[in-house]
Amino acid sequence: MAQSSDEIVKREIIEHLGTEINGLKLRVFPEGSRDDQDLFSEGGLTFGQDGLKYGSCDACWYKKNVEWIDPFNHNVFNNAPVIALEGTDALDRGSRGNAQYQRFHHVLGAVKNGLIGVYYLRKGEFPIQPSLYGMAYYASKYEKGVYLIIDNLEELNDLLNFIDDEKKISNYINLKLNSMYELFLKDFKIKYGSWEKFALKRSTILFEDYVIKHAGRMRRSFTDGDQRGGHIALGEMYLTKYFFYHKKVFYLWPRMCNEDIEYLDKHKSDDKEWNLLRNEPDVQIITIDNLNGVPGNLRKRFLSVTDIPLKNAALKSYNASKKILEEGIRTRRIQIDLESII
């Protein structure tokens, strides 16, 4: 059984911080354990909100014998979680692009619950994607808790030690959020300069009160375990949701039909990533079936590359169709048919 990088991260946390610090007890499980999939209130490391479970965390610091109402099911529990952490050594394992977003949802449940969520990317060969800082910054603006991105354990040590001093922890978090925002903004200005340019480059179409993010997802990428389609889609979805947190998001997959969504709803009902994609507030998955005004030949062209990898001729065809679709949506010749969305 191969170990992932989680083990290294967990070991380092214990080396640096021990298993109890400043009255906070650490909950962490060895790799291979499945208990992390259980809710925190049931002995695990997963957080949820109103019946929807988010990803599991690697570690959580909690206060013993302090009452906590689990927002997942509103049950009362006598250990109160304070800081939840997801850690990875991915920066040293070739993770330079959107792979960094793929674990974003692991801590998000805790953030929605009002905790301090920490995504720790151990320093490595590659830098942290500045957009990840942006996602976390905006998530902190929108959600009940705060979402922090760190790359060294000293910051975690500070958080744990300041936790009981309201003023100190508040100042520390605000400074951290500001520095995250600065890192994001600096890169954003260089790469995009404006949200309009960002939208153009990132397959996103902006409207006054909603955005449409489109991507060439196919059914097979969700059913084939090797492809991690759910994780990739989820990362992109959260990037769009939090960058445009004041708008509704329609996540459009033009290579798929309602039938594909029905199939995945039926066959992936226990899949955490799929459930988040389907149930995240203010986000709606839509397919080619949910668009009015799509010319018949354009629909045919999208469906001719359904479930085949987007490369060579398929990629060329998809990109050409995508341009026509984008133009149609932008000029409102193609519009979302809200009634047909499943």
**Contact residues: another protein, CB under 8 A:** 1-5, 7-8, 10-11, 14, 18-19, 26-35, 43, 89, 92-94, 122, 124
Least distance from another protein to the Cβ atom of residue 121, Å? 12
Least distance from another protein to the Cβ atom of residue 185, Å? 29
Q: Which residue number, 87 or 109, has a Cβ lying nearer to another protein?
A: 87
Residues 6+ away with beta carbon under 8 Å from 243: 134, 135, 138, 195, 198
Least distance from another protein to the Cβ atom of residue 36, Å? 8
Least distance from another protein to the Cβ atom of residue 174, Å? 32
- The CB density around residue 45, as the number of other CB atoms within 10 Å, is 27
What gap in Å lies between CA 302 and CA 320, rounded to an integer? 10
Q: Which residue number, 119 or 238, has a Cβ lying nearer to another protein?
A: 119
Q: Which residue number, 6 or 273, has a Cβ lying nearer to another protein?
A: 6
Q: Which residue number, 5 or 275, has a Cβ lying nearer to another protein?
A: 5
Pair type for strands 210-214 and 204-206: antiparallel
What gap in Å lies between CA 194 and CA 214, rounded to an integer? 19
What gap in Å lies between CA 253 and CA 217, rounded to an integer? 6
Q: Does residue 44 contact residue 60 with C-beta atoms inside 8 Å?
A: no
Least distance from another protein to the Cβ atom of residue 230, Å? 18
Q: Which residue number, 157 or 227, has a Cβ lying nearer to another protein?
A: 227
Q: Which residue number, 31 or 151, has a Cβ lying nearer to another protein?
A: 31
- The CB density around residue 79, as the number of other CB atoms within 10 Å, is 17
Least distance from another protein to the Cβ atom of residue 99, Å? 12
Least distance from another protein to the Cβ atom of residue 132, Å? 20
Residues 6+ away with beta carbon under 8 Å from 70: 39, 40, 41, 48, 76, 77, 113
Pair type for strands 291-292 and 204-206: unpaired
What gap in Å lies between CA 250 and CA 126, rounded to an integer? 32
- Cα 209 to Cα 205, 206, 248, 269, 325, distances in angstroms: 11, 8, 7, 30, 20
Pair type for strands 24-28 and 46-49: unpaired
Least distance from another protein to the Cβ atom of residue 171, Å? 31
Q: Which residue number, 7 or 337, has a Cβ lying nearer to another protein?
A: 7
Q: Does residue 242 contact residue 138 with C-beta atoms inside 8 Å?
A: yes
Q: Which residue number, 9 or 108, has a Cβ lying nearer to another protein?
A: 9
